[in-house]
Chains A and B, each alone.
Chain A
Amino acid sequence: MKEISELNLPDDVRYSETHEWARLEGDTLRVGISDYAQDQIGDVVFVELPEAGDLFGKGEEFGSVESVKAVSELFMPVGGEILSVNADLEESPEKVNKSPYDEGWMIEVKIDDPTELDRLMTKEAYIEWLKGVE
């Protein structure tokens, strides 16, 4: 398992306390799980995602990720409507492990309230948060 210093934590995303990341791309927000989360849960074998059009509030469960260890819930970093989901993960769930911020993205969201994004953590704040978790 990775030390905090070994984690891949990009600057261009924001992080939630439940280890999701969120990246604003134009009007939409892409969401996935952080390198820390994929490293902790281990090899992902199944990702359960919502359907386009589903509505969720901030912090609500939008799906789950099953690894060889356990099933973990996925929580909305902000509230909004699901625009699309990463259908590739159905066939290739390992993308969550191999490329958590790129090919392993999970959902695209139309945000209800853009200010909610400011309440997510920056890379630096997330690293501090992880030190508290460890």
Chain B
Amino acid sequence: MKESAGTTGLILNEPLLWEKGKKGRCGFSLPRRDVEPSPPDEDLMGEGPDFPDLSEVDVVRHYTRLSQWNFGVDTGMYPLGSCTMKYNPKINEKQARLRGFSGAHPLLPADLSQGILKLMFELEGFLAQITGMDAVTLQPAAGAQGELAGMLLIHGYLKSKGRRRSKIIIPDTAHGTNPASAALCGFRPVPVKSGEQGILTPEAIIEVMDEDTAGIMVTNPNTLGLFEENIQKIAEIVHSKGGLVYCDGANMNALMGIAHMGKMGIDILHLNLHKTFSTPHGGGGPGSGPVCVRKYLKPFLPVPRVIRKDDRYSLSEDFPQSIGKLHAFYGNFGVMIKAYSYIRSMGPENLKKASQLAVLNANYIKERLKGIFHLPYDRPCMHECVFSDKFQNKQKITTLNMAKRLMDYGFHPPTIYFPLVVKGAIMIEPTETESKETLDLFIDACQAIADEAKTDPEVLRQAPTHCKVRSLDEAAAARRPCLTG
């Protein structure tokens, strides 16, 4: 396909189900009663739920139409930077639906859950191998809880060594949740600026690292999509003062099978299975944020842990130094199955290739768009690249206008106004799953929008014009939210 995907195709309206139903309609036939009726206790009776009466076709059309209003990674390119919106292979869904997995109850005894425990045990091993770390917990529900787990691990470890510390260093190119996670654990986040090249300098860390600092939370590659080239040196500085190095691994899609996080000096690393390991993201979630650690932190990992003895698997709570439990039962197991399926279907060579292609795609976009949009840090990037609206500001066109206009061309907008270190940031992460043809269409759309900014800026201010709904009043929605139908 050479032409843009965005058209003004017919989009069907659809009312709320409650407006659609009609008394007496039914979607299925109730089975014939084969027992005597028994009236329930009067005290337990009340008004029945307010469900509309609908036929099967009413329900099918309703959800089909709603799905057509939506835009997902199955619909088109979703270059939301910092989020790794890669395609979710359908084989993963198939595996997660296997009856032995989907029908399992979390309270089944270990003897009846050997397959499930084995999958968890092996997934831990794969993640350790991919990252170059020694041990893994699969319990955290998503990235931010993984960060909190990491902070609790640092606290637990330092306490066992008799070190009481109150601060955590957080660079301005870290993920936004990092300072929040540190603060939630009782640490005081100490901000540190990245250098002129968009990465941290050892000098900046020497200046803030002291005996009251528990460690650093560094995102690598950082939110500018740049590799923290001084990471090893920085880790040495932090370690020399008795601190630990936490790495936010949300951007691991650039490094699978390429970088050895342990050798880089990382003590703790979280992964986002819903980003790097292709499980659904956002509304399609839930997420999963495993935490990988070096061996000296293993005793502190959350319980219960899966252990193997004589080829039998079981759950153990017998880890007296553990930081405790983080999630009901064992984490979001359904997500683990999908990540396991992804890793097994890709294999080590293809995981590495996925990272290589993710980086190649991002650099292709960076090089092709760099005259069209302002590129604040012009250096080879990792899996994503960050532009700004500086060129378009002359026409009083902002990042928001251009992001809205991209929808008219059939693309999901990239991440905007993040990271905060770039004014009017446009953060593009194509991922490895987009072909060169799709990337070229996206680049053409960006070029067309930059041209429109010069020749017809009003069309950008009115955008989107092809979507089901036009530009929404975000301020009114945030000031006076309407949370019911």
Contact = CB atoms under 8 A, between A and B. Distances in A.
Contact of A1 (B393, B417, B420, B478): B393
A66 B398 CA distance: 19
Nearest to B417: A69
B479 interface: yes
Nearest to B416: A69
Contacts of A40: 423
Contacts of B474: 43, 68
Interface string A33-49: 00000001011111000
A93 B479 contact: yes
Nearest to A67: B475
Chain A contact-residue range equals: 10 to 19
Given A1-B396, A43-B474, A68-B474, A94 B417 contact: no
A69 B423 CA distance: 11
B478 A68 contact: yes
B479 A94 contact: yes
A54 B478 CA distance: 28
A46 B478 CA distance: 8
A68 to B, nearest CB: 4
A45 B479 contact: yes
Interface residues of B, number: 11
Interface string B416-457: 011010010000000000000000000000000000000000
B396 A45 contact: no
A123 B396 CA distance: 24
| B393, B418, B479: residue with the most chain A Cβ atoms closer than 10 Å | B479
A94 B398 CA distance: 20
A42 B424 CA distance: 11
Interface in A2-56: 40, 42-46
A45 B475 contact: yes
A93 B398 CA distance: 23
Contacts of A68: 474-475, 478
Contacts of A94: 475, 479
A82 B182 CA distance: 28
Contacts of A44: 475
Contacts of B417: 69-70
| A42, A44, A45, A93: residue with the most chain B Cβ atoms closer than 10 Å | A45
B396 A43 contact: no
Contacts of A93: 479
Given A1-B393, A69-B417, A70-B417, A43 B398 contact: no
A60 B396 CA distance: 34
Interface in B444-485: 474-475, 478-479
A129 B248 CA distance: 35
A2 to B, nearest CB: 9
Contacts of A66: 478
Nearest to B423: A40
Nearest to A133: B423
A1 B398 CA distance: 8
Interface in A42-99: 42-46, 66, 68-70, 93-94
B475 to A, nearest CB: 3
A94 B396 CA distance: 22
A43 B477 CA distance: 11
Contacts of A1: 393, 396, 398
Nearest to B389: A1
A70 B420 contact: yes
B459 to A, nearest CB: 19
A93 B479 CA distance: 8
Interface of B: 393, 396, 398, 417-418, 420, 423, 474-475, 478-479
Given A68-B478, A70-B418, 9 more contacts: A40-B423, A42-B475, A45-B479, A66-B478, A68-B475, A69-B417, A70-B417, A94-B475, A94-B479
10 contacts: A1-B393, A40-B423, A43-B474, A43-B475, A44-B475, A45-B475, A45-B479, A46-B478, A68-B478, A93-B479
